[in-house]
Chains A and B, each alone.
Chain A
């Protein structure tokens, strides 16, 4: 038998408290999500980015259902305050993530903000955006000695296989 009130214990509560209350929190997240869908890469505090991530992925899941789905359209029109982003969501983001099952966003921590508050910052982006990547893909330098030797070895092997066959 429960001896304590459920309201006083927060075991397992995933959603953070933000802003002035639950409604204010949802409004704040809605603004962040609209900005993310428009610009595809935003920079905020770590806590806000973490909260928006969940909603961003859920929104893409709803968008995958399609334009004609009643619930999906209602969700999109609620969460995107700028209505020119609703067709962008259904025609650009949903086809982009067709092959992905989950993990449409990428979050990376940034150095603390330069203001007096030194807040923990994070950058949140949808994968596949047109901007330069946050983590540049490092290509091996072909002109190093080891790579040149390996290249020579691979060419010799290919030659030997060609002569054998």
Chain B
């Protein structure tokens, strides 16, 4: 009777022993803690090189970034395309400010001079300037008096007395009145 407690205790001990042996066999008895912890510098240069190699390889890789690039989802239909291409802002605007010049009949814009009439005036002024250049005879000789242009058969009038006279050897054109 007195040996019952001793018997129970011995049984308990043997059961615990069997349990520990079973755990040892299975390999689950090891605690997940280091046997020794030392405070020092990181001693893994090999791992850094691996990381660098990984980074270098990762730069041109677009296999991941394709996910965030914009791309059309569906084909744009010809109707949608037509409405975009022919919208009001892309069509040519019609000009309604073109009219014929009353002098020569060439077309001109209302707020712009007639190109033909201006070319006519330009040609005549070029010839006058050539005459002036011959009269002056050199650069930087601008006179200190007014200039007046006289055509064939014209005499200087009262107003033209103290002006420099530029002679042009042709008849006075109709559009160049005095």
Which residues of A line the B interface, CB within 8 A? 38-39, 41, 82-85, 87-88, 91-92, 96, 108-111, 123, 130-134, 136-139
A84 and B140 form a contact (CB under 8 A): yes
B149 and A130 form a contact (CB under 8 A): yes
Known A109-B113, A110-B115, A123-B118; judge A130-B147 contact (CB<8 A): yes
For chain B, the bracket of interface size reads 20 to 34
Extra inter-chain contacts (20) besides given A88-B142, A132-B124, CB under 8 Å = A38-B142, A83-B140, A84-B141, A87-B144, A92-B143, A92-B144, A108-B113, A109-B113, A110-B112, A110-B113, A110-B115, A110-B118, A111-B113, A130-B146, A131-B128, A132-B121, A132-B173, A132-B176, A136-B177, A138-B102
B121 cross-chain contacts in A, Cβ below 8 A? 131-134
Q: Give Cα distance in the complex from A27 to B142, angstroms.
A: 22
Interface flags for B48-86 (1: CB within 8 Å of A; 0: not) read 000000000000000000000000000000000000000
Closest chain B residue, CB of each to CB of A43: B122
Closest chain A residue, CB of each to CB of B108: A111
Choose among B111, B115, B118, B149 the residue that contacts A134 (Cβ–Cβ < 8 A). Answer: B118
